[in-house]
């Protein structure tokens, strides 16, 4: 299986642990994530300011993948959602695609509407047999209690995602986490947004939203929170200390990417999975497995 690997902006600059662990997991599963240096931002960060330009950026990336005869695989949920949305709107021939292609032609490109966009986690869930994943497992993570944060754009807007998982009662990530032997535990407000997009606008509200979730996850006694998007990780991992300062509490709740969990089960080391780059220390958690 080969996909054009869409890294986006945040992951290669700020969430390298996610990138490293995903590459390790893909490698193990004999799954090629082909690097494409020409890819630029998916366009989503500009949707609010200039939708026309943002769609053009999305289409530019899709046309590059199409020229290489590949579908796109992303790690970031916002990239997944936005590129899926652009592909959805440009799937049919019409004035919209003509306009986009008029602009792309200045770069000698054209989008014909044939690219599929997939989040890496969706690929693992839909296209890899559980036994193919499990056969690479070397550690049983049965001592871990994991809370899952699906986030918004991994599942929504559901209309563009062909119902690969339910937006209200999702189970795809839970299935993958359970394969490792870890116990998935539920908590209040699982569907809530991390608040990330609000960070530059109103830090206080953004952090309150994130803290609500961490409170709930901490209350049920989870060992770690599992995420699949770098923006969610920034909120729960990078900002965990900031949001708790002055409150007299310190959760010290590790926030792991799903690929880091899978990588642990596959026997990879701490540094190979970039776990040493997590902001909230994972030391205690890893001690259980003598890592």
Partner 1 sequence: MIEDVTHNRADLQFGQGFAEQLGDVRLSACFMCRACTSVCPITRLNDSFNPFRFVRLALFGYIEEVLESGLIWFCTNCYACQEKCPHGVRIPDLMTALKNLAIKTGYAPREVLLQMNIVKDQGRIYPIDEFDNKKRGKLNLPSLPVSCEAVSTLFNENSE
Which residues would be at the binding site for partner 1 (CB under 8 A)?
A: 7, 9-10, 12-14, 16, 19-20, 23, 35, 37-38, 40-41, 45-51, 53, 56-57, 60, 103, 106-107, 152-153, 156-158, 167-168, 191-193, 195-198, 200-202, 205, 208-209, 274
With respect to partner 1, which residue has the nearer C-beta, 176 or 194?
A: 194
Nearer to partner 1, 54 or 180 (CB): 54
Question: Please, are residues 71 and 126 in contact by the beta-carbon 8 Å criterion?
Answer: no
Per-residue CA distances from 291 to 15, 20, 267, 270, 285 (Å): 21, 18, 10, 7, 9
**Is there a contact between 266 and 236 (Cβ–Cβ < 8 Å)?**
no
Paired tokens of 119: 């989040």
Q: Give all strands (DSSP E) within the chain, no chain letters.
A: 2-6, 32-35, 72-74, 117-119, 145-148, 183-184, 224-227, 255-257
Minimum distance of partner 1 from residue 152's CB (angstroms) = 4
Residue 143 Cβ vs partner 1, minimum distance, rounded to whole Å: 29
* CB closer to partner 1 out of 118 and 213: 213
In whole angstroms, how close is the CB of 91 to partner 1 at the nearest point?
17
**Shortest Å distance, C-beta 85 to partner 1:** 10
- Is the Cβ of residue 25 or residue 209 nearer to partner 1 in the bound state? 209
Positive/negative CA dihedral, 102, 106, 108, 111: negative
Query: Cα Rg for the chain, rounded, in angstroms?
Result: 19
Residue 131: CB minimum distance to partner 1, A: 29
Cβ closer to partner 1: 128 or 277? 277
- Phi then psi for residue 108, to 5 deg, are 70, 25
């Amino acid at each position: 299986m080969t996909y054009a690997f869409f890294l986006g902006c945040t992951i290669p600059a700020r969430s390298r642990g996610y990138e490293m662990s995903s590459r390790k997991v893909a490698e193990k599963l004999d799954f090629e994530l082909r690097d494409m240096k020409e890819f630029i931002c998916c366009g989503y960060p500009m949707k609010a300011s200039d939708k026309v330009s943002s769609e053009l950026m999305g289409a530019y990336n899709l046309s590059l993948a199409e020229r290489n005869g590949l579908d796109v695989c992303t790690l970031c949920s916002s990239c997944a959602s936005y590129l899926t949305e652009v592909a959805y709107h440009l799937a049919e021939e019409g004035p919209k695609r003509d306009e986009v292609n008029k602009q792309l032609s200045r770069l000698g490109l054209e989008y014909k509407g044939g690219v599929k966009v997939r989040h890496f986690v969706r690929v693992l869930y839909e296209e890899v047999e559980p036994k193919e994943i499990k056969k690479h497992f070397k550690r049983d993570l049965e001592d871990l209690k994991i809370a899952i944060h699906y986030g918004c754009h991994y599942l929504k807007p559901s209309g563009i995602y062909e119902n690969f998982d339910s937006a209200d009662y999702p189970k795809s990530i839970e299935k993958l986490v359970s394969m490792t032997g870890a116990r998935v535990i539920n908590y209040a407000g699982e569907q809530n947004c991390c608040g990330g997009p609000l960070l530059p606008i109103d830090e206080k509200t953004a952090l309150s939203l994130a803290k609500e979730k961490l409170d709930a996850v901490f209350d049920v006694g989870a060992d770690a929170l599992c995420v699949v998007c770098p923006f969610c990780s920034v909120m729960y991992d990078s900002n965990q200390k900031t949001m708790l300062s002055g409150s007299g509490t310190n959760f010290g709740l590790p926030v792991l990417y799903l690929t880091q969990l899978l990588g642990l089960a596959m026997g990879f080391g701490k540094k190979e999975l970039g776990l040493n780059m997590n902001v909230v220390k994972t030391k205690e958690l890893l001690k259980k497995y003598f890592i």
